[in-house]
Amino acid sequence: MSELNSIELDSSETIQDIALKLVTEQLKNDSHLKVGPSERTIFVLGSKGAGKSTLINRFLDRDDVPRPTLALEYSFGRRTASGQGAQKNICNVWELGSLVNSNQLIEVPFRSHGLATFSAVIVLDLSLPDRLWTDLECVLNGLKQALEKNCSSKEIAEMQEAMRQKVGSDHVDLNTLEVLPFPVIIVGGKYDQFQNLDSEIKKHVCRCLRSIAHAIGAALIFYTSKNTALTKMTRDAMNYLGFGSPSNPFKTTAADHNGPIVIPFGADSWEKIGVTPSNSERIGLNYSSQIPQVGTEKVAIPDDPAKDGGFRERVIDELRALKDEELMRLLKDTEMRMKFEAVQ
C-alpha cells in the first residue's frame, strides 16, 4: 500500500483521476531515482485491430501474445549505449486501444511527458479503405486538440520550426505544409491483405496517405508482420523515434502503389504525388468522394473489465477496492437514513 500512501486522495475523484495521478507521480519518482537518463516518448494510436500491440512487442523485443487494448496502456524500453559512463536511454511507449470517446486519453502522454521528446506512430488498417480516413481524421483531430490544451503556443511554434527543418528548410513545398510540431510516422498495417485489393482502390489509398503524410511532415511506411524486410524497417523507424538509432532507418524510397510504400521525412512533394498543394480537409473530402467512409467502429467493452484477468493492475485494483468499499458504505448509510425518515 506504499504507493497509495505517497499520494493524496480526494473522495470526489474517480478511478481514472486517481490512476492518472498515480502514474504521473510514479513517473516523477522514477526520474529522480535514475541518474540523468535520456527519455523519449512514442504514442502509438490508430485503427482498432490494425496491429499496434504486435508492433510495440516487436519494438520492445517482447514475446507476449497480443491481447485487445481496452483503453490506454503504458510500457517502456530501456537501452544503455556502449562506452564508459554511457547514458541510459528510456523510451516511454503509450498505446491507445480505441478511438471512440478517446479525447481525454489522448491528452495523457502530453500531460505526462511534454512535447519536447514526443513522437507519434499512427497505425492504419489498409485492408479497410472505407474506414481509413475516418480513423485518420479522428487521430489527427485528437492530437491537435490535446496539443492546444496541454502545450503553450510558444512551445508548439518552437517544435514546429524544428520539424520544418526535418522536412527540409529548402523543400520546394515547405510554405504549403501544415507540419505538426513532433515527428509522426504513419504506418499502413495489414499490407499483406491490402496488396490483393483492386488497383484503383490501392491508387486512391496511396495518394491519400502520401498527401496527408506530406502535408503534416510525416514519414509513411506500409507494414505487415509477414514481410521480414518491412518488419525490420518499421522496427528501425520506431527505434529511431525512441532511441535515435539508427540515424537513417529508411534505406529506400518507394512510391509505386503496386508495392509497399516507403516515404522518409521530407522525401515527397505535391508534384511527385501528382496533386495540387492541399490541406488535410481537402485531402479527406477528395478521398471520401472516391471511397465513401463509414463511421468509427464501436468497441465491445466487457461487462466488468476489472474482473478480466488480462487487465490486472495491482495498484489500480487496490484503489478500485477502496472505492467499492466507500460506495457500499454510502449505500448503506443512505438506506438507513431512508428507513429512519420513513419511520418518522
Please enumerate in sequence order all residues whose Cβ is within 8 A of that of 20, keeping only pairs 6 or more positions apart, or say none.
Answer: 108, 111
Nearest to 182 by CA among 40, 87, 47: 40
- Does residue 191 form part of some domain? yes
Averaged pLDDT for residues 3-32: 62
String of DSSP letters for 181-218 = SS-EEEEEE-HHHHTTS-HHHHHHHHHHHHHHHHHHT-
Q: Which tens digits make up the pLDDT trace of 243-271?
A: 998 888 998 999 999 999 999 999 999 99
Structural domain span for residue 253? 39-290
- Does residue 190 form part of some domain? yes
Lowest mean pLDDT among 12-16, 193-197, 214-218, 339-343: 339-343
- Cα separation of 31 and 21, whole Å? 16
- Cα separation of 342 and 330, whole Å? 18
- Cα separation of 14 and 131, whole Å? 33
- Does residue 137 form part of some domain? yes
User: For residues 70-105, b (16+ Cβ closer than 10 Å) or e, as one string?
Assistant: ebbbebbbebeeeeeeeeebbbbbbbbbbbeebeeb
Q: Which tens digits make up the pLDDT trace of 264-316?
A: 999 999 999 999 999 999 999 999 999 999 875 555 555 555 565 655 667 77
Q: Select, from the ranges 17-21, 23-27, 59-63, the one with the highest average predicted confidence (pLDDT).
A: 59-63
Give this prediction's pTM: 0.76
Residue 2: what pLDDT?
A: 47
For residue 102, pLDDT over 50 is answered with yes
Averaged pLDDT for residues 217-236: 94
Grid cell in block for residue 247: 540515424
Q: What angle do CA 274, 168, 272 make, to 5 degrees?
A: 10
What residue has cell string 516518448?
A: 41
Nearest to 40 by CA among 81, 91, 103, 80: 91
DSSP state of 254: B
State how far the alpha carbon of 274 is from the alpha carbons of 105, 124, 204, 266, in Å. Answer: 37, 23, 12, 16
Residue 32: what pLDDT?
A: 47
- Does residue 310 form part of some domain? no
CATH number at residue 159: 3.40.50.300
Residue 37: what pLDDT?
A: 62
Total domain count for the chain?
Answer: 1
Please enumerate in sequence order all residues whose Cβ is within 8 A of that of 113, keeping only pairs 6 or more positions apart, or say none.
Answer: 27, 39, 41, 92
For residue 34, pLDDT over 50 is answered with no
- Does residue 325 form part of some domain? no
Q: Which tens digits make up the pLDDT trace of 115-142?
A: 999 999 999 999 999 999 999 999 999 9
- Does residue 141 form part of some domain? yes
- Does residue 60 form part of some domain? yes
- Does residue 264 form part of some domain? yes
Residue 306: what pLDDT?
A: 59
